[in-house]
Amino acid sequence: MVCRPEPLPREEGGGRLWTFARGGRGTWANVSAKETATNRLWVASAIADDFGLAAWRRRELVAATVCRTAGGTKPVIGLVGGIGSGKSYVARCLQNYGGYVVEADRLGHEALRQPNIRAAVVQRWGQDILDASGDIDRSRLAAIVFRDPQQRRALEALVHPYISRRMQEEIARAQGDPAVRFVVVDAALLLETGWHQLCDHVIFVDAPEELRLARTQQSRGWTAAEWQARESAQWPLAEKRRLADAVVENSGDTAQLCQQLETLLRAWLGDHSD
């Protein structure tokens, strides 16, 4: 079964969202047509105002998903959530269940090594962003672009088309690999870029704000200000959560996280996840 994001009629419809509570128990929550329309209007406003100005990024997002069958196609699962929510950890967990993980961050590194992209980046931001070996220093570049939304969008316009193409290539290759049961797309800007349209399902990875900040301080050495600047460059968490098909809690209890993921995989893969 393949599920693609498709608009619902404006005056009818709605959808359902599978949500896990802190105790690890899940339940279906109804999403009304009014909420769907609200999401559509919010996203349309965001795209016009600050995100996705390039034509290839103009996508319509909705809160519900219409499913249709397509025999033999492996599900593609996208991950969204706040910075430090543990999306990459969830991706590794899903890998243990037979998933192939497509990492947008890795593809971003790859993009900056492409001669044409590297040249364009250096031309715009200068030699000071290069390290001693002549490679682009991502931390120096980030210090520039995350202070100015216009600079950030300029960088995204250079690297996102490459990431998008490579992402599609990796998904296609994984679809043809008999050892792969499903594909996972780990991309911080999955919704903002429209890459969610490559996915059949989207999971919102949830964690308390103080825990997310502590994780980024420990793993990346960021200050609270740096974390907040990166977080502000993404869509509000409430909107990401609302547009997801499922919500999982990732507050440090690995057994609970695995239980949540197994439940989703049984539903989406149509068999036992073991």
CA distance linking residue 5 with residue 238, whole number of Å: 19
Backbone angles phi, psi at 93, to 5 degrees: -60, -45
Listed residue (93, 100, 19) closest to 258, CA to CA: 93
Among 205-209, 214-218, 264-268, the range of highest mean pLDDT: 264-268
Higher pLDDT, 223 or 14: 223
Q: What is the pLDDT of residues 81-109, one digit of tens each?
A: 888 888 999 999 999 999 999 999 999 99
Give the number of other CB atoms < 10 A from CB of residue 97: 16
* Distance, CA of 139 to chain centre: 21
**Residue 206: pLDDT over 70:** yes
The answer to whether 224 touches 212, Cβ cutoff 8 Å, is no
Higher pLDDT, 48 or 221: 221
14 three-class SS: strand
Q: What is the pLDDT of residues 118-156, one digit of tens each?
A: 999 999 999 999 999 999 999 999 999 988 999 999 999
Q: What mean pLDDT do residues 171-188 have?
A: 95
Q: What is the pLDDT of residue 228?
A: 77
Q: What mean pLDDT do residues 165-170 have?
A: 96
**Residue 46: pLDDT over 80:** no
The answer to whether 57 touches 43, Cβ cutoff 8 Å, is no
Q: What is the dihedral of CA 14, 20, 26, 27, to 10 degrees?
A: -30
Q: For residue 154, with 0-12 CB atoms within 10 Å meaning exposed, 13-18 middle and 19 or more buried, which class applies?
A: middle
What is the pTM assigned to this prediction? Answer: 0.71
**Residue 1: pLDDT over 80:** no
Domains of the chain: 2-105+180-269 (3.40.50.300)
Q: What is the pLDDT of residue 72?
A: 40
| 107 Cβ contact partners less than 8 Å away, ≥ 6 residues apart | 162, 163, 166, 167, 170
- Helical H runs in the chain? 33-49, 87-95, 104-112, 115-125, 138-145, 149-175, 190-193, 209-220, 224-232, 237-243, 254-269
**Residue 195: pLDDT over 70:** yes
Per-residue three-class SS string for 55-77: HHHCCCCCCCCEEECCCCCCCEE
Among 76-85, 161-170, 225-234, the range of highest mean pLDDT: 161-170
**Residue 29: pLDDT over 60:** no
Confidence of residue 271 (pLDDT cuts 50, 70, 90): low
The answer to whether 87 touches 188, Cβ cutoff 8 Å, is yes
**Residue 221: pLDDT over 70:** yes
